[in-house]
Amino acid sequence: MGEMEDLCVTECTRCPALVDSRSRIVNGTGPKGADLLFVGEGPGAQEDDQGEPFVGRSGSVLDDGLRAVGLEREAVRITNCVRCRPPANRDPTDDELANCRGYLEAEIDQLDPEVIVTLGKVPTEHLLERSVAVTKEAGTLEDVRIGGEPRRLLVCVHPAATLYDRSQEETFRTTLERAAELADIDGTEGGQTRLDGY
Ligand code: URA
């Protein structure tokens, strides 16, 4: 494994193709005490450029969706299955997912979130370790062991899916609503996940 400090990978050369295609390592963003952890697939062009997950078009959809259910981006943690941009935005390979898995597990362990929300097929299948029809299973909460620890995982469609298929907007919104409720119910006193009352 490469270097990881304070939830951030500072150096890693495990995936030759990604070392070539990336301009930087894109680490997770958001508070270390966040109740909700959103996990995407991997950085795209804008994320690679800015060094932050979900800052492009998908990021706008995610931010709008969060706001619509009373969550703010700054209150949740957002990360990806792989931290380096795959060439031509292809999906990360199984080897690349495996190479980056330790970093994701370390981030999950250190964060200890109430709920992990997987955005789309790649992160959902990666963390549930089975094939998943995401549009069918979106909104369902599953118990899963990640790095040996019991976790709760909420399946969500990828924000970009709502751009290609309008019918997924409602699925996306109701899943985020559920995430907000779960963070509220189980969150610690004084948690600031929701904007209500502020
Ligand atoms: N899509 C993802 O899965 N992750 C990002 O960071 C951006 C877009």
Identify whether 193 is part of a domain. Answer: no
Identify whether 103 is part of a domain. Answer: yes
Residue 165 pLDDT: 94
Which contiguous run of DSSP H or E holds residue 20?
Answer: helix 16-21
Determine the Cα–Cα distance for residues 43 and 71; give it in Å rounded to an integer: 22
Which residues, at least 6 apart from 151, have a Cβ–Cβ distance to it below 8 Å?
A: 108, 113, 116, 143, 144, 145
DSSP string, 37-50: EEEES---HHHHHH
Residue 151 pLDDT: 98
Ligand 1 centroid from CA 43, angstroms: 5
Residue 190: pLDDT band by 50, 70, 90 thresholds? very low
Identify whether 195 is part of a domain. Answer: no
Residue 2 pLDDT: 72
Q: What pairs with residue 119 in β-bridges?
A: 156
pLDDT, tens digit, 9 for 90 and up, residues 117-172:
999 999 999 999 999 999 999 999 999 999 999 999 999 999 999 999 999 999 99
Q: Whose CA is nearest to atom 7 of ligand 1?
A: 54
Whole-Å CA distances, 74 to 79, 87, 94, 109? 13, 29, 31, 20
Identify whether 14 is part of a domain. Answer: no
Ligand 1 centroid from CA 44, angstroms: 6
Structure tokens at 61: 């959809």
Q: Which domain holds residue 95?
A: 33-186
List b or e across 84-101, with b for residues whose CB sees 16 or more CB atoms inside 10 angstroms.
bbbeeeeebeeebbebbb
Whether the predicted pLDDT of 187 surpasses 70: no
Residue 197: pLDDT band by 50, 70, 90 thresholds? very low
| 28: DSSP letter | -
Answer yes or no: is the C-beta of 63 below 6 A from any ligand 1 atom: no
Residue 6 pLDDT: 80
Residue 1 pLDDT: 62
Count of the separate structural domains present in the chain = 1
Identify whether 21 is part of a domain. Answer: no
Whether the predicted pLDDT of 94 surpasses 50: yes
**At 168, which CATH number?**
3.40.470.10
Identify whether 128 is part of a domain. Answer: yes
Residue 194 pLDDT: 57
Whether the predicted pLDDT of 5 surpasses 90: no
Are 150 and 132 spatial neighbours (Cβ–Cβ below 8 Å)?
no
pLDDT, tens digit, 9 for 90 and up, residues 17-55:
999 999 999 999 999 999 999 999 999 999 999 999 999
Identify whether 25 is part of a domain. Answer: no
Answer yes or no: is the C-beta of 65 below 6 A from any ligand 1 atom: no
